[in-house]
Structure formats: structure tokens, C-alpha cells
Amino acid sequence: MPLRTLANVLDSALDRTVVPGFSKIGYAVRRRLPTWPADPAPGSLAGRHVVVTGATSGLGTATARQLSALGAHVHLVVRNADKAADVARELPGPSTTWTCDLGDLDSVRACAAAMLADAPPLDAIVHNAGAMPAERTESPQGHELSMSIHVLGPVLLTDLLLPKLEGHEARVVLVTSGGMYAQALPVDDPDYTRGTYAPPTAYARSKRTQVELLDILTVRWARAGVAVYVMHPGWAATPGVTESLPTFDKVMGPVLRDADQGSDTTTWLVGAQPRPRGGGLWMDRRERPTAYFGRNAASSDERRRMWQWVADATGLTP
């Protein structure tokens, strides 16, 4: 078999076996294959403006640093401006900080209004803000907090900022999680009001929602010329994992990716030229299946119903 065909077979096998593929083993193997795409050119983001939410820790900080190293002016969208100042001092390039709580839709609207008034045209948004509350917590608008931070806030912020993205071949990246493979779209209970609340389940349900809304968001934001991606970082060692999943962190710690490895594909999606085809779930610079053997895949009707819920919750016209 040709070398590239063998590389694709090995890549797919790593995916199906989960632990090797999602860990640092998969990352190390894949980047040595002939199918690994080239890195963005040095300075490829010079003069570009990129928004990174959740930029004060973990994957968000690593993403901001990588994008800055490529020349981007990074806009840090954060809850804590003091923590953002610490991150900004370590960036090799310029940055601007915007205060926003992605879990509070009123805060999202206020941040969007400030950015529409004062920010320059934007070339990309990376939605990395995340949370896994230890118990069921509601946003100020009464929505389960994981769903609000991972779905409602990012969708609303991006939609409101479309005037800043339009005409720039802009890119939007939603950072998801491999946990979404284990959950179905919670179309009948998006706010997790039924059953016993489990933080990892709530987190994974919201991440499944990101993936299943991808096609709808791609069509919606295409009018502004925006390409949309969902990016799976693999299993990465971050403060959030250590705090929220201590057993997983202890057992899998030796093979977890570091933050830079987990953020690699996000940076590549933002910086690669030509712009990668939008509308897919990506990991290690390659588009991946959103479900295996059809397990937990949503129907078009379920996606439509979930989108209607999101539109109603955010006040957007579906």
C-alpha cells in the first residue's frame, strides 16, 4: 500500500482505540506521519485580530500564546481582568482584554456591544471558556451553567459579532471534548432538570450540543463568510481536569497531552492557509467522525429542535 494510505490507516486506528489516539501518544505518532499538515508559516497572523475566550488558564492560555507567536493581536475575553493581565504580560505580541462572563447572557450582550463599538475587524474567534460545576448550577437567566457557558454564550457572542467578522474569511473554533462521544443530544432536557445531576455528564451533553449544532451554525454564519469548526483537543492535562476529574487525572496523567499539544489544532485551524474547509469536527489537524457506529448521533429533527431551544434562550431569530 502507498505510504500515505498506510498513514491514514494508522491514524484512523489510533482514533478507534481511543486511549492511544486521544493521549499524547496519538499526537506524537500523527505529527510524524507524512499526512501531517504543515505548520502555519511564521508571522502568518501578523496584523490579524483573534478573540480567545477563557484565556486565563489551560488550553485558553496556550492558544493565546501560540496565536500571539504567529503575530496575531489577541483579544482576551475573560471573567477576571487581573488574571488576564498576567497572561498578557507573557504574550510575545499585543493584546486587548475584554471582560465577559460567557455563562451570563447579559454579560455577553454587554461585551459584544463594547467590542462592536471599539474593537477592530476580527479574523477569528476561539471559544475555549469552560466549566464543570460540582453541582447543578444555574446561570442568571436560569439555564444549566455548563450548557450556558459552552453553547448559549458562544453562539450569542459570535452572532452579535458577525459585523466584525464579515468580509475577512473569518474562522470560529468551538473547543469540545472527547466526552461528547458518550452522550446523546439532550434535546428533551437541555437544562438537565431531570434525573441525578452528574457534572461530567452535564459537561459532555453540552459538548455534544456544540457538535450537533455545527451544520446549522455553518449555514447561519456563512452569510458573513465565516467558517465554523469544532475542535477536539484530545485528553490534555489542564487545571480544569485536575480539579474536576481528579481520578481521571491521576490514572491517565502519564499519557495526558500538555496544553500546547491540546491547543495545536486550534492554532492550526486559525492560522493555516488556505483556510481549511469549515463545518467539521477536528482533532490533530484532521476532520474526525462526530459519532462512531452511529452511536449517540442526532437526527436532523433533533438538531432542529435543539437549535430552536438555543434560539429561544438567546433571543436570536432561528
Cell of 60: 485558553
Q: Are 72 and 49 in contact (CB under 8 A)?
A: yes
d(CA 215, CA 79): 29
Q: State whether the Cα torsion 92-95-97-102 is positive or negative.
A: negative
Q: Do residues 276 and 266 make contact, with C-beta atoms less than 8 angstroms apart?
A: no
Catalytically active residues, by annotation: 203
Q: 192 with 133: CB under 8 angstroms? A: no
- Letter string b/e over residues 78-104, b meaning 16 or more CB atoms within 10 A of that residue's CB: bbeeebbeebbeebebebbbbebbbbb
Give the C-alpha separation, 182 to 208, whole Å: 9
